[in-house]
Amino acid sequence: MIHLLLCLLNDELHLVQDALLILLRLTAYPEIIQILAISSLCGPLTRHLLCGIPELENIVITIIGNITSVSDSFGTSLIQHGFFNSALEIFPSSRNLRELCWALSNLVVCGEYAIIEIVRVGLLERILELTTVNDISIVIEAVWVLLNTMIAATEKQLDALIRGGIIGNLTELLKTGNANLQYIILDGLNKVLNKFKCWKNPWEFKEIVIEFIGDHNAYIFEELIMSSNEIVSNLAYIIMANLYHEESPINFFDN
């Protein structure tokens, strides 16, 4: 590990590349990730994200995504080392936006601090912009960032996120007709609505959600109830019932 760190801190590109490739292979093993999830890696990885070489950038992002999928503490340390700021610098020129969004979707679940920082640096706004690109694979990964941010948010943060327009943005994306994207959004919104149940004023939040969906978009959920995709149909029905009816159905998607 010390040898790898020394190579990552080196200015010689071939040593950095070799060290990154070794780290990438190691992160394929969950039991090794726990060993790798140390804060001393955060600085070098954040620095090499800005290397300007797309291939190395991709390796760095994949390493970070693999480790943060297992270790929240590594994610928090990475954010403290300025990863969100570095990620913002490579927008929108990066060739690795899909992979970057995947890594960010892992990072935001670290909790309150992660959400404070991704909003503070302006990165969440850039993620919202990615939901309008033509590449559906990038759109899907950007949606995961938005949904995970809402699911991990505190009550106060979620209120601000909804008022910031995320719900309206996601509702618009349901119009694309892409069944996979519709499933991801509906499943995520269902999880967000389930968060309300244990809060003091769940109906207050539901009213905010309804407001930002807008009357002009409510029909989308009604149409999706008629979808030939049974899972999409069921999720749309549950969301409609949870939002617009006082007595909500049993949520058979709960674990």
- The residues, any chain, with a CB within 8 Å of residue 181's CB and separated by 6 or more, are 136, 139, 140, 143, 173, 174
Q: According to the model, what pLDDT value does residue 249 have?
A: 46
The pair of structure tokens assigned to 147 is: 């949904």
Query: Measured between alpha carbons, how far is 181 from 118 in angstroms, rounded to an integer?
Result: 23
* Residue 210 token pair: 């309804």
As a whole number of angstroms, the distance between CA 157 and CA 139 comes to: 23
Nearest to 123 by CA among 99, 138, 140, 105: 105
Instruction: Examine the pLDDT at 181 and tell me if it is beyond 90.
Output: yes
Q: Which of 8-12, 81-85, 201-205 has the lowest mean pLDDT?
A: 201-205
210-225 confidence digits (pLDDT tens): 777 776 677 888 899 9
H/E run at residue 168: helix 166-173
Confidence of residue 251 (pLDDT cuts 50, 70, 90): very low
Q: What is the dihedral of CA 101, 97, 66, 192, to 10 degrees?
A: 10
Q: Which of 69-73, 124-128, 232-236 has the lowest mean pLDDT?
A: 69-73
pLDDT at 255 exceeding the cut of 50: no
Residues 147 and 5: their CA atoms lie apart, in Å, by 34
Taking only the tens place, the pLDDT of each residue in 80-104 is 999 999 999 988 788 899 999 999 9
DSSP string, 179-234: HHHHHHHHHHHHHHHHHHTTSS-HHHHHHHHHHHH-TTTHHHHHHHHT-SSHHHHH
- When pLDDT is averaged across residues 166-174 and rounded to a whole number, the result is 90
Cβ-count burial of 221 within 10 angstroms (0-12 exposed, 13-18 middle, 19+ buried)?
buried
Do residues 56 and 21 touch, judged by C-beta distance below 8 A? Answer: no
Nearest alpha-carbon partner for 86 in 44, 23, 116, 115: 44
